Structure 1
Amino acid sequence: MPNESESKALDLRKSESKALDLRESEPRPVDLRASHDDRERVIEILRTAAGDGRIDLDELDERLEIAFGARTMGELAVLVADLPQTAAVPAVRTAEAPALRTAGAPATGDVVRIEYEHGSPERVGPWRAASRIEVTGEHGTCTLDFRQAVLPGSDIVIDVDLRHGTLQLIVPPGTVVEPSDLDCEHSEFDDRRARQAHAGALRLVVTGLLAHSRVRVKRASQ
């Protein structure tokens, strides 16, 4: 028969063993189940990366398919481990999955600036727009295609300073394009196919200066 001291030592070892078993049975961070919000944050990062040109459309489609079906945080972590983070994502720090870097969402004051002279700059495909776009140019055509753009919200201000140039806006159905405090000197604002806007549709407000220049709106098939 063990004495009282030996019994206490035996009980202590049993307690420690039970605690260890409980710790080992707990899921590792990489195995934690992902929520709908977790998936949406990663999807936002992927779409922003495509807009920045970090991944192409084929890779975007491939990663989005995995993201939509991801069950764990580890699966999501792998998808964005090589991308800068523009939305807060819960960190997963394990040997199997690199840590997710986190950063705040882009500030609402973000600006896209385009400057050119005797050129034809364009933003097409999945590019990243901002709440304010500034276009300064002479003698050339600047094209902004919003059909696949990664948008910051429903309202975008386009501040122009064009001289002998053209700003071409290619927009999805239902988009509102309207001039506001736009100074036109021998210039034209061409939106002949303007139609009634859809609820929650994109709204582009064009302001600034047009000198011997033109704003041309091209609408996708409705």
Structure 2
Amino acid sequence: MRAGDVDRDRVAAVLADALATGHLDPDEHAQRLEAAYAARTVAELHPLTADLPVSATELQPVAPPSTTPVTALFSKVRRGGQWPVPPTSVARARWGKLVIDLRHAVFTRREVVIEADAFCGLIELVLPPHVRVYDEGSALFAKRALPMGAADATSADGPMVRITGRAVLGQVRVRRAGDARHPWREWR
């Protein structure tokens, strides 16, 4: 039987839980997640979760992660580490800076949407090399910047981040981890 996106998303959710509970290390999680998104049949998906506490055949639909907006108001807010990326997120910067670091994030869906609204502020997204990104937002007296070759990531089967929203008198900036132009940013 052919696997659909719903089947792949359920396996990705099990893998995310296994990573969060320590049953998988980050490298093995990345390998299994890549295999899950490349799977064409349900039979290819089953071995990816068979040795985990919850297998894909026993999995019930999982509630999506919290979709509470992340807001930086007259401040700097940084979201990073191993956190599950919800299918849709809202990021707001009002006279502040919001950094969303996706380098170690757990993608539970193949495509996630981040609504980035910057009013007199800056929203910066830090992406790992295997993530594709598309910016569909608008700008008014503002700037939206993507890295060169943003849509041409190293893995066409990897997750995709779609950025929407508005920038007014502010900036929405996307960069790759390890950007050679600004190596000092990694520790900020």
Please give the range of the TM-score, normalised by the shorter of the 2 chains. 0.5 to 0.7
**TM-score, length basis structure 2:** 0.62
Tell me what 2:107 maps to: 151
Specify the SS of the correspondent of 2:107. coil
Structure 1: tracts of 5 or more residues without a match = 1-39, 50-59, 69-74, 78-84, 91-101
| Correspondence 1:45 to 2:17 | yes
Tell me what 1:186 maps to: 141
Q: How many residues align?
A: 143
Structure 2 residue aligned with 1:64, among 6, 16, 24?
24
Does the Cα contact within 8 Å between 1:143 and 1:170 map onto a contact in 2?
A: yes
The offset of 1:128, in angstroms, is: 1.6
Does the Cα contact within 8 Å between 2:83 and 2:105 map onto a contact in 1?
A: yes
Alignment-mate amino acid for residue 169 of structure 2: H
Tell me what 1:138 maps to: 94
Does the Cα contact within 8 Å between 2:92 and 2:123 map onto a contact in 1?
A: no
Specify the SS of the correspondent of 2:106. coil
Structure 2 residue aligned with 1:113, among 69, 87, 100?
69
The offset of 1:42, in angstroms, is: 6.4
Please report the RMSD computed on the Cα atoms of aligned residues, expressed in angstroms: 3.3
Structure 2: tracts of 5 or more residues without a match = 1-11, 29-50, 180-188
Of all paired residues, the percent bearing the same amino acid is 20
Superposition pairs for residues 1-222 of structure 1, below 5 Å? 44-48=16-20, 60=22, 63-64=23-24, 104-107=61-64, 111-180=67-136, 182-195=137-150, 196-197=152-153, 198-221=155-178
Q: Which has the higher helix share?
A: 1
The offset of 1:192, in angstroms, is: 3.4
Distance 1:161 1:76, change over 3 A: closer
The offset of 1:41, in angstroms, is: 7.8
The offset of 1:48, in angstroms, is: 3.9
The offset of 1:110, in angstroms, is: 5.9
The offset of 1:88, in angstroms, is: 7.5
Report the structure number with the largest CA radius of gyration: 1
The offset of 1:175, in angstroms, is: 2.5
The offset of 1:136, in angstroms, is: 2.0
**TM-score, length basis structure 1:** 0.53
Specify the SS of the correspondent of 1:64. coil
Work out the CA distance in 2 between the residues paired with 1:41 and 1:110: 14
Work out the CA distance in 1 between the residues paired with 2:13 and 2:108: 14
